[in-house]
Amino acid sequence: MTDLANKPVQQLTEKEATKELARLAAEIGGHDRLYYQDDAPTITDAAYDLLRRRNNDIEARFPELIRHDSPSRKVGAKPVERFEKVRHALPMLSLDNAFEDSDVEDFVARIRRFLGSKEGDEIALVAEPKIDGLAVSLRYEDGVFVLGATRGDGAEGENVTANIRTIADIPQRLHTRKPPPVFEVRGEVYMSHADFAAMNRRQEEKGEKIFANPRNAAAGSLRQLDANMTAARPLRFFAYALGEVSEAPAKTHWETLQALKKWGLPVNPLAKPCGSVADMLQFYRDIQHQRAGLGYDIDGIVYKVDRYDLQARLGFVSRSPRWAIAHKFAAEQAESVVERIAVYVGRTGVLTPVAHIKPVTVGGVVVQNVSLHNEEEVARKDVREGDTVVVQRAGDVIPQLVRVVLERRPKGTHAYKIPEICPVCGSTAVRAINPKTGEPEVARRCTNTLSCPAQAVERLYHFASRDAFDIEGLGEKTAQEFFDLGWLREPADIFRLTEHADELKAREGWGDQSTAKLLNAIEVRRKTTPLDRFILALGIPQVGETTARLLARNFHNADAFLRSMYSATAEEELDAIEGIGDVMARAIKVFFDETHNRDAIVRLLKQITVVDVAAPRAVNSPVAGKVVVFTGTLERMTRAEAKARAESLGAKVAGSVSKKTDLVVAGPGAGSKLTDAQKLGVTVISEDDWLKKIGEA
């Protein structure tokens, strides 16, 4: 393997190249995770760049071997300050709108008149769903993707090539042996409903911005200055037109769609040829019925004249082609009155205000609850109890509150204020500061992470998960089942599940074996879980694996850790740890200040024994575990440096000499500590001897 990793790219066989690309994808992917998610890179930037360069060189030699998960799709480039402007080789036109059936009839009649077509002559058109995303232009030169741009104002857009490369739907090369020298494709970047919901859930858990709809999410994701952010977002693409091309693949729009599909570009599967206005309106109604189940937002139907020669004759007026039109679905809106604004607590402790409105039918569905997302959103729209509001169903799925009808606001209303205590458990609810931006998160959260009923299942499941207590068999479903039975309310209950062994064995889906297996897994963890996993399991906001490990290595055992967290100086002590900033320190302190959390930890520690964690690199060091005292003037380093170095080697540095002291390092001018050491018979060495001892002389 190492031999292969060093073999010059020019000498690789195809088989070796395949192997190398697989290795590089895994390796670079791993380094990306360490860098972007854990903030803990393990190689230098230069070494990382070398891996990437090798990957790119191999791909240049064997383009057909480019992997779907290739690092070249994930960029790795530094974030840009802002996007470069690009002029579109051919302007990106806009679409005229039709709202009524008669508008569509007029559209076709206009075309017939313009072309002078005779009665009975069929004008072939293509109807396709109008994707509610954002339009982009992709440029391929000799079949290779070279430029991706947003539509912008139609004449000039932004260069988002690096971001486009991360979209798995979009091929880096056209799948054809003879690609035209220049080939521009236009289409829509969008996000599916499922991916949108999952992404918003993740955003919410991280306390980051929630997007109002898939379109905004797609736009926000595509316009990330750091392409690595885009790569983490599930964007998709449908192609629907050509831009500048040195050679068109066909003479009609329909055939072009088929060619695009063959060349590896996704084309909407619902597009359909139509021969008459009746066909077009039938298609419109068919799709309208399928709309809610499509899995992505569409906001209408686009009709296009099929033949390119006719398109050319029709030309365009101002910025819209005469040969195409968008038949919009009516925005489904209705008015209602806000009866009450209630607050719900999600599984991650986030407080979400929801407007309960007088039931109203919007697009055939009764709406009575509308999420207001967060307190900033409520303030922005200034929604109050008693207000008349306009609601709509976005993409026909999620009801939204569009605006307040201010003219109809009754007298004596008050601006809404979100409660600062959790409505479920009564604990304080706070808006944490995002460590990256220094701004408060939009989400307000209940701080009773461990025993708030609203968060219980999520927390229990997290507690037992692989990176935390690693209790196999206690997944989300089981945690929910036990919670519903009343057996599990907080982490301590996990270790009392044995009390329910007989009942469990008798339950549907459980037997002697699976019960024994689960209880055994729990017993094993009762005494084998190390401090870092324990800390991670607590679910302290902002504390991930890396921070949990840092804390564990710093405090070594649960006692010392908790004592520090409950002390008045907790924040300073945390702040002093390399890798923990003041925002993080504050978040941790808030967690331990909540008495519900303290009580839950006390109950938990009655059940389990947490295994100590050694300081890193303590092994093999000649001073590991030794208690060392520095005294006098050190000449080769500062006192702080000496202390940090000794601690990193596993020594404990004490401030005064006692029976427990193993070693005193004395420089010139040493006073009482030196005499104490001599009295107690503690070994005294010079600074030079110390450096020799730790191998740094």
Q: Which residues are catalytic?
A: 130
Two tokens, residue 423: 């409505």
Contact (Cβ atoms closer than 8 angstroms) between residue 459 and residue 468: no
User: Per-residue x/- marks for ligand D41, 138-167, CB under 6 A?
Assistant: -------------x----------------
Of positions 158, 184, 188, 375, contacts ligand D41 by CB under 6 A:
188
Residue 527, amino acid: K
Contact (Cβ atoms closer than 8 angstroms) between residue 369 and residue 348: no
Residue 311 CA to residue 565 CA, distance in Å, equals 72
Residue 456 CA to residue 364 CA, distance in Å, equals 36
Of positions 62, 107, 240, 303, contacts ligand D41 by CB under 6 A:
240
String of DSSP letters for 19-49: HHHHHHHHHHHHHHIIIIISS---S-HHHHH
Q: Can residue 128 be called a binding residue for ligand D41 (CB under 6 A)?
A: yes
Q: Would you give the distance in Å from CA 443 to the centre of its chain? A: 16
What Å distances lie between residue 411 and 390, 406, 414, CA to CA?
19, 11, 9
Cβ 240 to ligand D41 shortest distance, Å: 4
User: Per-residue x/- marks for ligand D41, 274-303, CB under 6 A?
Assistant: ----------------------------x-
Residues 641-670 within binding reach of ligand D41 (CB under 6 A): none
User: Per-residue x/- marks for ligand D41, 383-412, CB under 6 A?
Assistant: ------------------------------
Residue 431 per-residue DSSP state: -
* Burial class (CB within 10 angstroms; exposed 0-12, middle 13-18, buried 19+) of 549: buried
Q: Can residue 304 be called a binding residue for ligand D41 (CB under 6 A)?
A: yes
Q: Can residue 586 be called a binding residue for ligand D41 (CB under 6 A)?
A: no
Contact (Cβ atoms closer than 8 angstroms) between residue 300 and residue 327: yes
SS3 content of the chain, % helix, strand, coil (to 5): 40, 20, 40
Q: Can residue 310 be called a binding residue for ligand D41 (CB under 6 A)?
A: no
Q: Can residue 31 be called a binding residue for ligand D41 (CB under 6 A)?
A: no
Of positions 93, 115, 147, 259, contacts ligand D41 by CB under 6 A:
93
Q: Can residue 131 be called a binding residue for ligand D41 (CB under 6 A)?
A: yes
Count residues contacting ligand D41 (CB under 6 A)? 15
Residue 85, amino acid: K
Residues 472-491 within binding reach of ligand D41 (CB under 6 A): none
Q: Which is nearer to ligand D41, 298 or 430 (CB)?
A: 298
Residue 388 per-residue DSSP state: E
Q: Can residue 130 be called a binding residue for ligand D41 (CB under 6 A)?
A: yes
Q: Can residue 325 be called a binding residue for ligand D41 (CB under 6 A)?
A: no
Of positions 51, 135, 574, 584, contacts ligand D41 by CB under 6 A:
135
Q: Which is nearer to ligand D41, 71 or 129 (CB)?
A: 129
Q: Which is nearer to ligand D41, 267 or 471 (CB)?
A: 267
Contact (Cβ atoms closer than 8 angstroms) between residue 399 and residue 360: no
Cβ 99 to ligand D41 shortest distance, Å: 16
CA-based angle 409:413:415, to the nearest 5?
105
Q: Which is nearer to ligand D41, 29 or 152 (CB)?
A: 152
Residue 39, amino acid: D
Q: Can residue 94 be called a binding residue for ligand D41 (CB under 6 A)?
A: yes
Two tokens, residue 52: 């990437």
Place of tokens 């006390």: 602
Contact (Cβ atoms closer than 8 angstroms) between residue 341 and residue 355: yes
Cβ 141 to ligand D41 shortest distance, Å: 21
Q: Which is nearer to ligand D41, 132 or 594 (CB)?
A: 132
Q: Which is nearer to ligand D41, 135 or 350 (CB)?
A: 135
What Å distances lie between residue 690 and 529, 617, 651, 684, CA to CA?
36, 18, 12, 10
Among the listed residues 368, 374, 375, the one whose alpha carbon sits nearest the alpha carbon of residue 389: 368
Of positions 160, 167, 185, 241, contacts ligand D41 by CB under 6 A:
241
Cβ 325 to ligand D41 shortest distance, Å: 9
Among the listed residues 611, 543, 615, the one whose alpha carbon sits nearest the alpha carbon of residue 579: 543
Cβ 17 to ligand D41 shortest distance, Å: 38
Stretch that binds ligand D41, among 126-134, 167-175, 455-463, 678-686 (CB under 6 A): 126-134
Q: Which residues bind ligand D41 (CB under 6 A)?
A: 93-95, 128, 130-131, 135, 151, 188, 240-241, 302, 304, 321, 324
